[in-house]
Amino acid sequence: MNELLYKKEEDKAALIKELRSAITAQLTGEMDWVRTRAFWAARLPGIPPDVLAEALAEAIMKGSSLIAGRGQPS
């Protein structure tokens, strides 16, 4: 039972890391809109809302810090 729970949490963490990375790349301009659209079209249907919310919150905070650090207006 503990192994199953561990695997589930490990999978969730990997998904959050993937999403956070993609969102940050979008916010900083590292990923263009064509790749962004393809990414979300493929990934959104299988993402639980709570995982998406966590990844969005973390990535947007990180992206805004990166943008602010460059001295760009919000």
Distance linking the first and last C-alpha atoms of the chain: 47
| CB-CB neighbours of 36 under 10 Å | 14
As a whole number of angstroms, the distance between CA 60 and CA 69 comes to 14
Q: What is the pLDDT of residue 74?
A: 47
In this prediction the pTM is 0.75
Residues making up the chain, counted from first to last: 74
Question: What are the structure tokens assigned to 18, written together?
Answer: 């993937």
DSSP-derived letter for residue 71 is T
Tell me what pLDDT residue 20 has: 87
pLDDT 10s digit of each residue in the chain, 74 long? 699 999 999 999 999 999 988 988 888 889 999 999 999 999 999 999 999 999 888 888 887 787 788 765 44
List, in order, residues 6 or more apart from 32 with CB less than 8 Å away: none
